[in-house]
Amino acid sequence: MSASTSPAPPLAGLRVVELAALAPAPFTGLLLADYGASVLRIDRPPTSPMVRPTADLLARRKTSITLDLKNPSSRRILLDILSHADIFIEPFRPGVLERLGLGPKEVLLKRNPRLIVARLTGFRRDGRYKDMAGHDINYIAVSGVLSMLGRKGESPYAPGNILADFGGGGVMCFMGILLALLARQRTGRGQVVESNMVDGSAYLASMPRLSRQFPFWSGERGTNLLDGGCPYYATYETKDEGKYFAVGALEPKFYEELIRGLGFSAGELPADREDKANWPAIRAAFERRFREKTRKEWEDVFQGTDACATPVLEQRELEREGFEQRLAVGLDDTPGIPFKADEGGWTGGGLAPGDGGEETLKSWLGWERGRDFEMQNGTLVEVGKASAKL
């Protein structure tokens, strides 16, 4: 079947306006763009101290215009755009949008009842930390998630900024937008989607939180089945220093394949692998054995087996070998023709303020420079109202 008959991206035709920010909000916009939505990023004026033209790497398939939201003329342009948009992603701290005269219920939804306003904050909008600055590590700290991460006897360990910014923030906000779109299909009306990284991270941790009453996750941090305590759910350094193998042989039949692949004979390892008292001995034996071969040699041993043993591949290796980053969800409206939103998944970034935005305004609204807007110091304003300031 030819490419021309492939199904259209599922979000094609949706118009998304994203206020420029870092990490979670851009990731929400990236997810929408990758699945077909048209995403217009609103950047701050070039003279703003907050402008970081190269900081947002999550700009694939987006375009940009620059607006000064403290300028009434620029603000009216935003309102006009939002009157014809489907989704508005707002990453400000509580109260900022309202102080700009852009309250979601008071202003935005009255102008465009079908608009979905996605509000994404770090801390809860009404909680004790609502007016404080924070980053991923702070959000997972107060959510209770950080306390579960790390080795026994060591400080809690934050795994980059993946959990709060991208999982609990961007992905959860994306899910809220999709639910709001489903609701709009029934009611014809948009709504405000409230999302925060504290509750989002806590929700991601539902399984370990609920498992604390059961033996496999009832111990202190770093002593349980899935948090680094178990020797058959861990990583091991191989003979080539700095290379590692990952082991996840939880089920007995997979564990048997792992032991067979590692070349252990009967009696070399403690018989009861579920007894935590035996875990140190099993781990020590695994550490010694994995250091006897290179990662490539272990790959050859375990390739095609059910031992749940795989190499820990590094990002530069994936890029060098041409591995394609694919979207997490492959859609297949037509048998045999999965929707591929990204053929070059390692690409991103490079969207400078103003790139492509005028073309998007023309496509969405039929606007043209000089007739519907003009530029002043790199910022869009209404025609004839360039000097209007608060």
Which active-site residues does the annotation give? 165
Q: How many CA atoms lie within 13 Å of 239's alpha carbon, on the beta-carbon side? A: 9
Going by C-alpha positions, the residue among 118, 123, 119, 149 that lies closest to residue 135 is 123
Q: Cα 133 from chain centroid?
A: 20
Residue 260 phi/psi, 5-degree rounding, is -65, -45
Report the chain's terminal Cα–Cα distance, integer Å: 57
Report d(CA 328, CA 256) in Å as an integer. 31
Q: Cα 34 from chain centroid?
A: 12
**Number of neighbours of residue 138 by Cβ within 10 angstroms:** 19
DSSP per-residue letters across 221-286 = TT-STTTT--TTEEEEE-SSTT-EEEEE--SHHHHHHHHHHHTPPTTSS-S-TT-GGGHHHHHHHH
Going by C-alpha positions, the residue among 389, 365, 348 that lies closest to residue 65 is 365
- By CB neighbour count within 10 A (0-12 exposed, 13-18 middle, 19+ buried), where does 126 fall? exposed
**Number of neighbours of residue 389 by Cβ within 10 angstroms:** 10
